[in-house]
Structure 1
Amino acid sequence: MKEKLLAATRDHAKAIADIQKRIVRYSGTQIQSGSLLADAQVVATTWYDSVKGALESAKIRPDLVTDATSTFDKVLRLSKIKPRKTTLLAELSASAKVYKEIIHSVETVSFASSQALSISPFIEDLAGSETEYLDEAQRCLTVNALRACVVLGWCAAISRIQKKIEEIGYDRFTEASKAMAAKTTGRFKPVRKHFTVESMSDLQTVFDTDLLWVLEYLELIDSNQHGRLRHCFEFRNNSAHPGLAPIKGPNLYSFYSDISEIVLKNPKFSIASAG
């Protein structure tokens, strides 16, 4: 991102310098040349079309962007009339001066990895109320709030799981939890909790880790998926509590890859009402 932004700003700065040289060589005191004015207009509109938004997205000093916008607005207005040569040169000189500071800011700014992070590939084409959590999660990345992004992602996954259980029936969930708790051999032998669920309110009292065991018993997930989701849950807890373990891009992507593939985009968890 930094390299692209530097290339765009340097190219634009060069275009400003080139048009300045042409105006300096212009013989008249009032610019009558339509082609020269048209090129000056292109220089001004390039700021709005290609540069300004990129600088704002990268959070380059807002005061510099504001100053540059003011000068390019004047250049654009002057290019639509037949301005005095000295007037147009003054505005182009002002834009060139502020551009030096802009390029310096781009060269020296530290582009945090979170600025380039996006969970869009993991959540695109999803439907349902979970998208409210996921849209908010994506916005968290614009302010480097990776922990909040993880917590909201887990909220989305649990919301989809709860809706799937609602769809298949609370009775079936209740029966499965009791049958699992009655096992005396095999993988489910250590599980002793069982639940009577008659409503969404009842279901929301079931701890997430207990919920995962019932999902496996219902064969909505297998043991490997169970383990991965358990890891996601622990990652969510680490994100929601103080600790020294850093959260970076690879951690975030691993988390979203798992909840997306195992739950959000898994056909077993599709909801008829979600489309």
Structure 2
Amino acid sequence: MKEKLLALTREHARSIADIQKRIARYSGAQIQSGSLLADAQGVAATWFDSVKSAMEAAKIRPDLVTDATAQFDKILRLSKIKPRKTTLLAELSAAVKAYKEIIHAVETASFELTQALSIAPFVEGLQGDETAYLDEAQRCLTVDGLRACVVLGWCATIARIHRKIEEIGFDRFSQASQEMHGKTTGRFKPFRKQFSIESRSELQTVFDTDLLWVLEYLELIDNNQHQRLRHCFELRNNSAHPGLAPIKGPNLYSFYSDISEIVLKNPKFELSAH
């Protein structure tokens, strides 16, 4: 992990130095070159797209990460306009100076042998409102916040379920609950609730465990998937309340594997494009 981070930061530092030299050679007082500004924007974006998260995952000097983030935010903003050459050069020079400390911090850091936890393999490629929860969940892992990561993962799952029910129709959801309530035999006989839902706000009052029963009745999930999601819900509850059972990497990965396969990446829960 250390060698990969060193390679990443050194390559980024070279890119910054390169764009700094190119801008220094620019003849005008104001940067008018679209390609030059695009490259400057790309250099700044690389910090936010890959380097920052890698630094946070490795727990390298949070103060350096915070300072560099502010510095690259300035560069990113300047590259979207036509800034004065001296202004942009000053910010790039500050970034080059900051990177000397960053690389030194990586070189002298003590890395654990264990791989940093990441939910990326389970959520990559996802789009939609749920990604806000999942992005925050990944950030929780940079501070060993496994419990918070689980809670946010369940939030993302329920958000997708709510949106799918809204797409199917609140009336169909309500009808299904009423049909289940009327069952006198079979698997759904124990379900004794009825809902009359007309909005997303009203849907938010339905307990998560009741949602799972109706999803099974609507054949969006089967019995086995229902039980697996119920287990995920219990892990969410264990994470949100005090207790002696620890949440560790295998628990986290099992949880994210299930919510990803059963809901977030399940074709049955895909949403129609609007």
Scaled to the shorter chain, the TM-score interval is 0.5 to 0.7
TM superposition shift of 1:6: 11
Query: 1:28 maps to what in 2?
Result: none
Aligned-partner SS, 2:142:
helix
The percentage of aligned residue pairs carrying the same residue is: 73
CA distance in 1: counterparts of 2:191 and 2:124, whole angstroms = 36
Query: 1:77 maps to what in 2?
Result: none
TM superposition shift of 1:59: 3.0
TM-score normalised by structure 2 residue count: 0.63
Judge conservation of contact 2:59–2:142 (CA < 8 Å) in 1.
no
Q: 1:235 to 1:102 in 2, by over 3 A?
A: closer
Whichever residue aligns with residue 160 of structure 1, its letter is: R
Aligned length, in residue pairs: 194
CA distance in 1: counterparts of 2:259 and 2:107, whole angstroms = 41
CA distance in 1: counterparts of 2:63 and 2:263, whole angstroms = 45
Within-5 A mapping of 1:1-275: 1=1, 4=3, 58-60=58-60, 106=110, 110=112, 116-273=116-273
Q: Larger C-alpha radius of gyration, 1 or 2?
A: 1
Q: Can you list the C-alpha shifts for 1:135-192, whole angstroms capped at 9, x where unaligned?
A: 1101111111111100000000000000000001011001000001110101111110
Q: Which runs of 5+ in 1 are unaligned?
A: 9-51, 66-94
TM superposition shift of 1:211: 0.5
Q: Can you list the C-alpha shifts for 1:217-249, whole angstroms capped at 9, x where unaligned?
A: 000000000000000000000000011111111
TM superposition shift of 1:194: 1.2
CA distance in 2: counterparts of 1:177 and 1:102, whole angstroms = 57
Aligned-partner SS, 1:272:
coil
Q: 1:217 to 1:110 in 2, by over 3 A?
A: same
Judge conservation of contact 2:58–2:116 (CA < 8 Å) in 1.
no
TM-score normalised by structure 1 residue count: 0.63
Whichever residue aligns with residue 224 of structure 2, its letter is: N
TM superposition shift of 1:64: 11
Q: 1:223 to 1:62 in 2, by over 3 A?
A: closer
CA distance in 2: counterparts of 1:156 and 1:179, whole angstroms = 28
Whichever residue aligns with residue 263 of structure 2, its letter is: V
TM superposition shift of 1:5: 7.4
Q: Which runs of 5+ in 2 are unaligned?
A: 8-50, 66-99
